[in-house]
Amino acid sequence: MKRLYVIVFLVIAAAAALGLAIAEHSGYVLVAYKSFRYESSLWATLAVVAVLWLLVWGIKALIELVMASSGVVNPWSRRNRSRRVQVAIEHGQLDLAEGRWASAQRHLHRAAEAERQPLLYYLGAARAANEQGHYEESDKLLERALERQPQAELAIALSHAQLQTDRGDTEGALVTLQAMHERHPHNVQTLRQLQRLHQQRGDWSAVIRLLPELRKDKVLPPAELAELERRAWGKNLSLAAQREEDGTVGLQSLNRAWQQLTSAQRQEPQLVLAYAEQLRQLGAQVEAEEILRTALKRQYDSHLARLYGLVRGSDPARQLQVAEGWLKDHSADPGLLLTLGRLCLQSSLWGKARDYLESSLRLQRNPEACAELARLLAQLGDTERSNQLFQEGLGLLDERLLAAPLPSLTHA
């Protein structure tokens, strides 16, 4: 409040001083140019100048206000165009994230046509069209993106390959990726998509051929690459065993695939397991037993030990003796005890078989051990205990079977 009083006082004082100055010294101004003559007091002239300046400033402000208003109202103004594009981008990205494909395609296509760097918007619109099943529209949007930004050919092609894969056109995706692989042989994303596509197609031979490039260009972490390599060779062994040669399903093809492995790979437990299992299924039981025995002698593996009980070697008594030799260091392995029980069953050693199988079940409730012991007890006449074990084994195979309620009986 005090400040207001001070301001009012200063204004009154200034006005009084100005009034005294005008009354005491009115001044005189004369402007003459040819026939024009202006003559007035100094203070009147200053007042005219002030009024003219205020008039010019007011006209200028009015013009700016009119222009700004027309920019807001006029839909074709630059300001409004920019605003509409921004709105289209925001709506399109949100629609794409939330799965509103038709709206996303419309907004992103509009944004792409208006932007100087439209790649991401074209890719989003193409994906939205693809999700709706409008595959031709999706491809046309990608072609338009390539026209606008030809330097982004690789990015557009990788997106195209992914969309082709999503629509089930794995053959087309393979052609696209192979073309990009030829032009960009060390591109990590191209190699990664090729690897995934080969896996999806079940073409494990192609995955194997790609492994050196995956390793050289460090496409995958070492642990993941090693696991992929083991899986690829294992699948390749399975496929080789199913291949027909000269009218017979392929022991020769399986052995040839096994020999293609390096010496180090032929010592990998996972690959030994795959090879021995295929030998067993093809009836080459003796060869499978030899492979497993050699691998287990070199390095014990519980999975190999379990499979060893499912093959029949040339000498069952010796096979049992070999397996019992592992028991000293691996007595707590339920898989080995299951194998010993099975080998005793093969040799009709009922008492030892029962002891081994019961020991295996004490360590781990396993459906295979339940089934083997149930069969043995049924043969020995203990049908009640046998039935209990069969039921337990079924429950272990699928816990949901026991949890699911039985349908109620209806009477006609």
Residue-wise pLDDT tens digits, 301-333? 999 999 999 999 999 999 999 999 999 999 999
CA 150/CA 171 separation, integer angstroms? 25
Which of 78-92, 259-273, 388-402 shows the highest mean pLDDT? 259-273
Residue 261's pLDDT is what? Answer: 87
Per-residue pLDDT tens digits for 378-410: 888 888 888 888 888 888 876 545 455 544 444
Residue 18's pLDDT is what? Answer: 64
Question: Is residue 189 domain-resident?
Answer: no
Whether residues 320 and 304 fall in one domain: no
Of residues 302, 305, 283, the one with CA closest to residue 292:
305
Boundary (domain end) residue, out of 287, 314, 341:
314
pLDDT above 90 as % of the chain = 50
Residue 289 has pLDDT above 80, yes or no: yes
Whether residues 324 and 253 fall in one domain: no
Please give the residue range of the domain that contains residue 374.
315-398
Question: Is residue 295 domain-resident?
Answer: yes
Do 276 and 307 touch, CB atoms closer than 8 A? yes
Per-residue pLDDT tens digits for 195-243: 999 999 989 889 999 999 999 999 999 999 989 988 898 888 888 888 7
Per-residue pLDDT tens digits for 332-373: 999 999 999 999 999 999 999 999 999 999 999 889 989 998
pTM of full prediction above 0.85 = no
Question: What's the whole-number average pLDDT of the chain?
Answer: 85
Do 80 and 74 touch, CB atoms closer than 8 A? yes
DSSP 162: H
Residue 379's pLDDT is what? Answer: 87
CA 170/CA 164 separation, integer angstroms? 6
Residue 45's pLDDT is what? Answer: 72
- Residues 6 or more apart whose CB falls under 8 angstroms from that of 123 comprise 142, 145, 155, 156, 159
Residue 64's pLDDT is what? Answer: 72
**Is residue 262 very low, low, confident or very high in pLDDT (cuts 50, 70, 90)?**
confident
Count structural domains, the chain.
Answer: 3
Lowest mean pLDDT: which of 20-34, 223-237, 283-297? Answer: 20-34
Whether residues 328 and 296 fall in one domain: no
**Is residue 188 very low, low, confident or very high in pLDDT (cuts 50, 70, 90)?**
very high
Residue 44 has pLDDT above 90, yes or no: no
Residue 106's pLDDT is what? Answer: 93
pLDDT average, residue stretch 112-123:
91
Whether residues 308 and 381 fall in one domain: no
Question: Is residue 89 domain-resident?
Answer: yes
Question: Is residue 37 domain-resident?
Answer: no
- Using DSSP's 3-state secondary structure scheme, residue 350 falls into helix
DSSP 250: -
Lowest mean pLDDT: which of 28-37, 50-59, 252-261, 375-384? Answer: 28-37
Domain holding 343: CATH number?
A: 1.25.40.10
Boundary (domain end) residue, out of 286, 314, 342:
314
Question: Is residue 345 domain-resident?
Answer: yes
CA 341/CA 100 separation, integer angstroms? 60
Residue 300 has pLDDT above 90, yes or no: yes
pLDDT above 70 as % of the chain = 87
